[in-house]
Each structure stands twice: as C-alpha cells, then as structure tokens.
Amino acid sequence: MSEGFADDNRGVDRVLELQEEVQQLKEAVVSQAVVDQAIGMLVALGRVTSEQGWTVLREVSQHTNIKLRRVAELIVLWGREGEISSEIRSELEEALDRHGPTQIPGAPR
C-alpha cells in the first residue's frame, strides 16, 4: 500500500515540475518576443541589421546595468509612447553610433 502512495507522490511531484517548466517556457517566449520587437525598432530607426540591433541592445543593457529584457521593454514602450529615459537614450545613441549609420530620430544634433 505504501508503494502506491510513493508512486502517487512521485507523479504529483513530476506534474508540479512540468507545470513549472511550462511556465518558464511561456515566460521565455514572451521575453523573446519583446526582445525581437526592440531589435525590430532598432533595425527600422537605426538602419542596422538585426545582428547589429542585437549587439546594440546587448551593449545598452551592459552599459546601463539593466537586464536586457527590461531594456527591450523600455525601447518598445518608447516606440508606443515616445518617451525614454535619458540614460537609455544616451547609451542607445552611442551604441547606434558605433554600429549604425544614423542618429536616432528626434535626438538633438
């Protein structure tokens, strides 16, 4: 009888593990979508390749010490609302200067 109970507990534990894994995968998919959207904005606004957009995003994250996903979220919000922090904007301009051919639209010359 106790063997069946142990099997049930292992089954419940496995279901909980799988549910947690599914949740992590869902979060990863959402995170990747936000990162892809931010890269798309950098490609359009900065006239860079998607690879260069990834590099710009990564460098902004590293130089501001803000997680890459959060930087991506801020860039996507900037696209919707037209506002971005001066710290992110400055790092974004510098990274695009290093990797891209143009200046961010609306930035002071």
Residue 39 neighbours by CB under 8 Å, 6+ apart: 50, 53, 54, 57, 72
pLDDT at 24 over 70: yes
Q: Is residue 89 part of a domain?
A: yes
Confidence tier at 105 by pLDDT (50, 70, 90): low
How many domains, in total, are found in the chain?
Answer: 1
Q: Is residue 83 part of a domain?
A: yes
User: What is the span of the domain harbouring residue 90?
Assistant: 32-99
Q: Is residue 22 part of a domain?
A: no
pLDDT digits (tens, 9 = 90+) for 59-103: 999 999 999 999 999 999 999 999 999 999 999 999 999 987 755
Q: Is residue 2 part of a domain?
A: no
Q: Is residue 92 part of a domain?
A: yes
Please give the structure tokens belonging to residue 61: 């994250």
- Give the percent of the chain with pLDDT over 90: 54
Name which of 74, 84, 82 is nearest 37 in CA terms: 74
Q: Is residue 65 part of a domain?
A: yes
Q: Is residue 43 part of a domain?
A: yes
- In this predicted structure, what is the pLDDT of residue 9? 79
b/e burial code for range 27-66 (CB count within 10 A of at least 16 → b): eeeeeeebbeebbebbbebbebeeebbbbbbebbbebbeb
- In this predicted structure, what is the pLDDT of residue 65? 97
